[in-house]
Amino acid sequence: MKSIPARERLIFALDVPDAATARRSVETLGDSVVFYKLGLELMMAGGYHELVDWMVARGNKVFADLKFFDIPATVAAAVRRLNGRGVTFTTVHGNQGIMEAAVAAAVDVKILAVTVLTSLDRGDLDDLGFACNVEELVISRARRALAAGCAGVVSSGVEAEAIRREIGPRLLVVTPGIRPVENRAEDDQKRVLTVERAFAAGADYIVVGRPIRDASDPRAAAEAIQGSIASATLER
């Protein structure tokens, strides 16, 4: 059991259209959320680094989910831009050389390797030309991430148990696609789990977006998930 404070295990996906909306969301959630994921939409909206600085100054933890995928030198240069900003995690989505370049460039930001996006299933992998099943691809990418020196991986909770079985505790597992209830047909996330099942499978952190953002009372929704995390991690 890694020494991660229970309330930091919830990462809220701050998938909003601009920095002003992001700040209002953070203020609304208050101390119900400690850790936030800031992705590509916010990056493209402008004011991303200023938002990161504001959040870090408030005492929040930041996951810069930018999924860097370019030639290794370019990825390394991008990762260096995050050093010294108080960012906890960032993501890369590429081959061994890309992961190794990102790790070599990182000073105080931890590199997470994306395994297989939770919006993909077996049919999507066929479309992409992968002959193996989802679990085999996730394990292969997790092994490569470990060899490259990454701190962890981003993986569906569906495959988290296999990662723990094959690799053990040597990688952090950050699990998106979390739903407090069973998945709805219109949801674009295909490989999802509930909070309790994700932690039972071996997740260290969970990423939650819509179940908090779209709730009538986002703060109450976040606190309910925090309660589930506290119970789930206490039992591990």
pLDDT bracket for residue 158 (50, 70, 90) = confident
End-to-end Cα separation, the chain, in angstroms: 7
* Average pLDDT score, the chain: 88
Q: Enumerate the active-site residues.
A: 67
State how many domains the chain has: 1
Q: Read off the pLDDT of residues 179-218 as tens digits, 9 standing for 90 and up.
A: 765 444 444 444 468 899 999 999 999 999 999 999 999 9
Residue 129 lies in a domain: yes
Domain-located, residue 223? yes
| Residue 1 lies inside a defined structural domain of this protein | no
Task: Indicate whether 189 belongs to any domain.
Answer: yes
- Alpha-carbon span 145 to 193, nearest angstrom: 23
Contact present, 52 and 38 (Cβ < 8 Å): yes
Does an H or E element contain 114, and which? strand 110-114
pLDDT at site 130? 60
Q: How far apart are CA 79 and CA 108, in angstroms?
A: 10
Supply the CATH number for residue 229's domain.
3.20.20.70
Task: Tell me if 152 is assigned to some domain.
Answer: yes
The answer as to whether 228 is a domain residue is: yes
- pLDDT confidence of residue 4: 95
Q: For residue 62, what are the β-bridge partners?
A: 36
CA 66 to chain centre: 10
Domain that holds residue 84: 7-234
Instruction: Assess if residue 2 is contained within a domain.
Output: no
For residue range 59-83, what is the model confidence (pLDDT) as tens digits? Answer: 999 999 999 999 999 999 999 999 9
pTM across the whole model: 0.89
Report the SS3 class of residue 18: coil
β-strands 172-175, 205-208 pairing: parallel
What is the per-residue pLDDT across 90-131, written as a single tens digit (0 to 9) for each?
999 889 999 999 999 999 999 999 986 555 555 655 565 565
Q: What's 153-218 look like in SS3?
A: EECCHHHHHHHHHHHHHHCEEEECCECCCCCCCCCCCCCCECHHHHHHHCCCEEEECHHHHCCCCH
